[in-house]
Structure 1
């Protein structure tokens, strides 16, 4: 159960591939049926997974969390569509799916994949901080102790769940599948930067564009962005920002299955996320692993988990903060020889930073819950 478009959700798709090896999987979420699912229960994408109408919002404001946990339109539709069907294992992706997953399970084990730190997912947004943060904290306190197992994206976030909610977690990183690729050749006089991900406000994509404007002619930037659910407003703003910069190119998104091959044509993957929430500070995003599988060097704004991987495997450089100027200064120090070296290092680290270990963890956890 995932209130996302599962077919475009890389983490959930990897999870689904593992679960499909253990039994027949029914998926519930937005969008079309994923290839590995035996059956898909589709939720209309127009139905929100959190209350947005007055009665539900009022209950959130009054901290009536038990009364509101099953009121969101997508949750109510999910319960109607699933009905009285029985399952041997239910997987709840993220905190907003825990209550409905617990109800659907009817006593069967529930695996909660929390991904990141749910209580402060979007606390940089005032309405979310005031209304949703207390609800998420309540959900975690109520349902995490009832879960048969809990997974998270890294050890730092797992430690937070253990400290605040008393639950032990398993770490399943957002790592991509191992790919047999070689680094593309570095073109003399050119360093090809690339960024892939969601076109979402707060991802600081503007800083990437501004940094390139301040760099010399060696540098180009290509953006592969998945549109946000905002009617294209944020993407339109980005198009206006790059309209007069020929060295920055905005591409349509590519399917998840084609992303790594597409990225392989470039030299350095870049990401610069401001530290607005604990999830930003403790990020370990799928794009880090996508860049490595594509055999790219990386330049990221400093964060403990990504800093550790970049340093341990000598994958690239770390900008001291998320400003465009810090990113510019860090990129400007790159030479063609250094870019070749870090692309080579990505190739050496690709197996260790692939999903092999993470899929094995998911398989072991799920199989234990199924009694196999």
Structure 2
């Protein structure tokens, strides 16, 4: 009998690289139904689409009031996207449910068929957006409650690195296995040849407030001749005003070029012609402080050097493998100072260091962890 697998993700699933890689594993173990925003991904046999306009956390006046009163049991299934998700799976049974991020756990435990449940904790859930006051006051305590209520009951858990796994173990008594944000090895790429007289910077990812993209643009303008910046950005679903402001800033920069976003599988090849991947994320939250993001592994597979603002996990990897430069701060001035001290010869050295570790820094180890989980969950 074919194993019935439900994969829940309150994200646009076709642009969620981590979930897409997860789906490639899931489909080897059964028939996969996806429940998410966005259209059907290729790996799914069936897809249940949630309207992108529906929030996955309570935002109505009654919902916010319940959050304020800590009435979490009555609000856990109350968000518009959650109610829609429950209606879409009504009458369906599954053998395994994969809940991507803690916010999907209340839905996962409502699924019929007594399924095994695997929660993939992409980051530290109680602090996802604690730099936003309303989130810190209302949502963070709710997410802590969700983790405390549901995580001890899951059959498997994963998260992105050992630092965050230890936080889950200490606070919720669950010991997640490690599934990094690494991507598959891209054997056909090699470090690109330098462009004489220019160091080509590149940044990719979501165009959302707080990502500090403006500081990178300001830095390349301050650096002047000999530097360029290319951006591959995904506009935020909920931040159109910010996107328009960012477009105006890009248009005003003579050294910055904006490209259309590319599918996750195509990103290494799109980034490969450049020299240094740049990411300056201020540590507004514990997740920022302990980040090990997709783009780190994108840069490695693209055979780029990298420039990162200091962060515990990325500092360790960049330093131990000679992959690039770590800035002590997150301002345009910090980036300018760091880049002015880097020679073209060093840049090529960083790119070749990425090439040397691309095979070891691929998703093979992560896939092995996920395969092991699915073998356990589907064992009869």
Q: Scaled by the length of structure 2, what TM-score is found?
A: 0.96
Deviation at 1:168, TM superposition (A): 0.7
Q: State the distance in 2 between where 1:197 and 1:120 align.
A: 20
Counterpart for residue 183 of structure 1: 191
Counterpart for residue 33 of structure 1: 40
Is 1:14 aligned to 2:21, yes or no? Answer: yes
* Partner SS state of residue 197, structure 1: strand
Equivalent residues of 2:37, 2:51 under 8 A apart: yes
Equivalent residues of 2:94, 2:114 under 8 A apart: no
Q: How many pairs align?
A: 372
Q: State the distance in 2 between where 1:155 and 1:327 align.
A: 28
Counterpart for residue 241 of structure 2: 233
Equivalent residues of 2:223, 2:336 under 8 A apart: yes
* Partner SS state of residue 2, structure 1: strand
Q: What runs of 5+ residues in structure 1 fail to find an aligned partner?
A: none
Superposition pairs for residues 157-306 of structure 1, below 5 Å? 157-180=164-187, 181-230=189-238, 232-306=240-314
Q: State the distance in 2 between where 1:16 and 1:105 align.
A: 21
CA separation of 1:203 and 1:105: change in aligned 2, threshold 3 A:
farther
Deviation at 1:327, TM superposition (A): 1.2
Stretch of structure 1 that moved more, 146-155 or 98-107:
98-107
Deviation at 1:260, TM superposition (A): 1.0
* Partner SS state of residue 345, structure 1: helix
Q: State the distance in 2 between where 1:26 and 1:332 align.
A: 50
Root mean square deviation of aligned Cα: 1.0
Q: State the distance in 1 between where 2:219 and 2:375 align.
A: 47
Q: State the distance in 2 between where 1:71 and 1:293 align.
A: 41
Counterpart for residue 332 of structure 2: 324
Counterpart for residue 127 of structure 1: 134
Q: Spell out, residue by residue over 1:208-242, the C-alpha distance to the aligned partner (whole angstroms, 9 max, x if none).
A: 11111221311100011100123522121112223
Equivalent residues of 2:26, 2:32 under 8 A apart: yes
Deviation at 1:105, TM superposition (A): 5.0
Counterpart for residue 2 of structure 1: 9
Q: State the distance in 2 between where 1:170 and 1:221 align.
A: 37
Q: State the distance in 1 between where 2:210 and 2:52 align.
A: 22
Equivalent residues of 1:90, 1:105 under 8 A apart: no
Counterpart for residue 4 of structure 2: none
Deviation at 1:42, TM superposition (A): 0.7
* Partner SS state of residue 25, structure 1: strand
Equivalent residues of 1:89, 1:105 under 8 A apart: no
Q: What runs of 5+ residues in structure 2 fail to find an aligned partner?
A: 1-7
Q: State the distance in 2 between where 1:220 and 1:33 align.
A: 37
Q: State the distance in 1 between where 2:253 and 2:218 align.
A: 10
Q: State the distance in 1 between where 2:184 and 2:12 align.
A: 20
